[in-house]
Amino acid sequence: MLDEEKRRRKAAKIVAVLGHFLGRDDDVLAGLTVADIGCSAGFIADELASAGASRTFGVDIDVPGLRKAARRFGHRVAFVCADGTALPFPDGSVDVLVFNHIYEHVVDPDAIMAEMHRVLADGGVLYLGLGNRLGVMEPHYKLPFLSYLPPALADRYVRLFGRADSYYERYRTRRGLRRMVRGFQVWDYTFPVLATPAAFAGKELFPGPVGRLAEGVLARLPRAVLRALLPVVPTYLWVATKGGRRPAGASLPQPPERVSPR
């Protein structure tokens, strides 16, 4: 969370995905009210402000982190200490919400999803970066199959390798994530980003020669093969709306697809 270079690369990917969905190439967030839920040190919120947002909010419960973020970025981002289950925004007042790799850390992600649905504008968009329980390598502790285990065994696993005293993150499978976002219409950008990383500032996903090989392979795979891989993809990149809005960007080798609610 404190690796600024990495966080800004992630932010560039988020902005690029939002730009494609909105059909905007420049000043992607111009004229829009944007909120980063779980903003941590504020690097992503700062990049959202740089993308032209008229108002940018960073929301978190980490008071020391918010103070540091405000000292550095407070001239263009309003940092707010608030629980995601009680966002300090009126109904339908936020045009763009970002909820990037946060759900596994919170007590009640379903309640946060409901609250984001409340504050999102009718024509607004919600960017979701969602870890998958069936991703083989757990991203926080770099231990294979950690998220597959029941809590007691997972705690023993992280202690055995000296990574932590307990494993508190709680991931969901793709089916569980679909249930979590059932109040939204969702478009899956996972394979579009993987197949055309240059278009989405996504080279961090597969760096170097591996990235070039993956880009070529994924761009040509049949959709049926990609759909078969979906249950074990480690991270999903989804864009959600309250309904009716479709991706407005240029055609892609692997276009975004609707996520079935069931």
pLDDT in tens, 94-144: 999 999 999 999 999 999 999 999 999 999 999 999 999 999 999 999 999
Percent of the chain clearing pLDDT 90 (strictly above): 77
CA 133 to chain CA mean position, Å? 15
Per-residue pLDDT band at 145 (split at 50, 70, 90): very high
> Which one-letter DSSP state was computed for residue 31?
T
For the segment 229-255, the average pLDDT, to the nearest whole number, is 93
Q: Give me the pLDDT at residue 205, please.
A: 54
What is the distance between the alpha carbons of residues 224 and 202, in angstroms, rounded to a whole number? 23
Domain segments of the chain: what residues? 4-133+171-243, 138-169
CA–CA distance, 141 with 157 (Å, rounded to integer): 10
* pLDDT score, position 195: 84
Better pLDDT: 34 or 26: 34
Q: What is the mean pLDDT of residues 169-175?
A: 96
- CA quadruple 26, 213, 136, 190: dihedral sign: positive
Q: What is the tens place of the pLDDT at every residue in 30-82?
A: 999 999 999 989 999 999 999 999 999 999 999 999 999 999 999 999 999 99
Q: Report the 10 Å Cβ neighbour count for 125.
A: 24
Please tell me the pTM assigned to this model: 0.93
- Per-residue pLDDT, 204: 55
Amino acid 214: pLDDT: 59
Contact 141, 158 (CB under 8 A): yes
pLDDT digits (tens, 9 = 90+) for 193-220: 988 888 887 655 555 554 555 556 776 7
- pLDDT the model gives residue 208: 52
Instruction: Compute the distance between CA of residue 135 and CA of residue 8 in angstroms, rounded to an integer.
Output: 24
Domain 4-133+171-243: which topology?
Answer: Rossmann fold (3.40.50)
